[in-house]
Amino acid sequence: MTGRGTDGVDRLCSTLDAIGAVGGTVDLWWRDDDLERPSAALDVLLGALGEHGIVPALAAVAGRMVVDVLPALEGTSARLFVHGWMHADHSATGAKKSEFGPERPIEARLAEIADGRRRLAALAGDRLVPCFVPPWNRLGDDLLDRLGGTGVMALSGFAPWHRPSAPSDVPRLDTHVDLIDWHAGRVPLTVEAVASALEVRIPQHVGPIGILSHHLVTQAGTWQAWQPLFAMLSRHAAVRWLDPTAALAAVTTTPVVEAGSDIRRTA
C-alpha cells in the first residue's frame, strides 16, 4: 500500500471534531466499480461495508452483468448504477481509454447509454438507480447536455480537487477519494493516505463526498486493514453515511459547489 505521512487519521479526527463542535455534518457515500458477476471479491466488499452500515452503489457494466449477481446482493441494500455498456475501449490510438469519448457517433453512444439503463432496469428493477458512470470516468463533452434524453437521472465520475467539473444536463454525483493508486500499479492506499485524502477534501467541498473502490483489484487483507478507519467514520457524530438514493437526492436538491473537479479519474 502507498501512503503519505503518519498523522492523517489524527488530522481527520480533528477536522471532524471541529465540524461537530459547531453542529456541522459531513456527508459521505460509496461507489464501487466494474460489477459484472458474483465473486468472492464482491462478497468481501459487501461484508466489509455492511459491518458499518455503509450502503454502496455498485457500478454495473450493463451489457455484461449476469443475472446471477442479484442473489449475491440479497440481504443487502446495495444499489446499481449504469457503468457504461461493455466497458470497451474505443479511444483513438495513443489516447487515454474511454468508451464514450468523441471517437464514435454521438447517437451510437447515446443509444448504448439508454440500452444499458433499460437492461439493468429489466434485470434489477428497483435496485437500479439510473445514474450513469462512464468507464474510466471519461465522457465526451458532446454528451454532457444530452444525457437526460437517455433516461439517466445523474452522472457520476471522479472529481480531483484541482480541476473544474464540467456542467451537465443532469445532476452530478461524483466521487472524490479513490482507494486505489492507479499510477503506482493498482496499489491500495494505506489508512493514513485515505484519511489524509478525506481530510483535505472535507473543507473544500459542499455536498456528499464520494469514496470510490474497485472490488476486483482489492484483496481481503486490504479491506481488513481499512476497517478501523471505516469504524471511526461510522461512529463519529459529525459523519453521516448516505445511501445512493439519498446521495442523489442531496445533489438534486442542493447546488454543489466544487473547489475544482473533473469527471476524469487520475489514472
- Listed in sequence order, the residues at least 6 apart from 16 whose beta carbon sits closer than 8 Å to its beta carbon are 26, 202, 236, 238, 239
Q: Report the share of the chain in percent with pLDDT over 90.
A: 87
Residue at grid coordinates 486493514:
225
Stated pTM of the model: 0.92
CA–CA dist 177, 188 (Å, integer): 12
* Average confidence (pLDDT) over 206-229: 97
Superfamily of the domain at 8-253: Glycoside hydrolase/deacetylase (3.20.20.370)
Q: Where are the domains of the chain?
A: 8-253
- Listed in sequence order, the residues at least 6 apart from 197 whose beta carbon sits closer than 8 Å to its beta carbon are 176, 177, 189
Instruction: Return the higher-pLDDT residue of 222 and 266.
Output: 222
* Average confidence (pLDDT) over 49-73: 98
**3-class DSSP assignment, residue 125:** helix
72-104 pLDDT, tens digit each = 999 999 999 999 999 999 999 999 999 999 999
Does 1 have pLDDT greater than 50? no
Distance from chain centroid for Cα 253: 19
Facing residues of 82 across strands? 60, 132
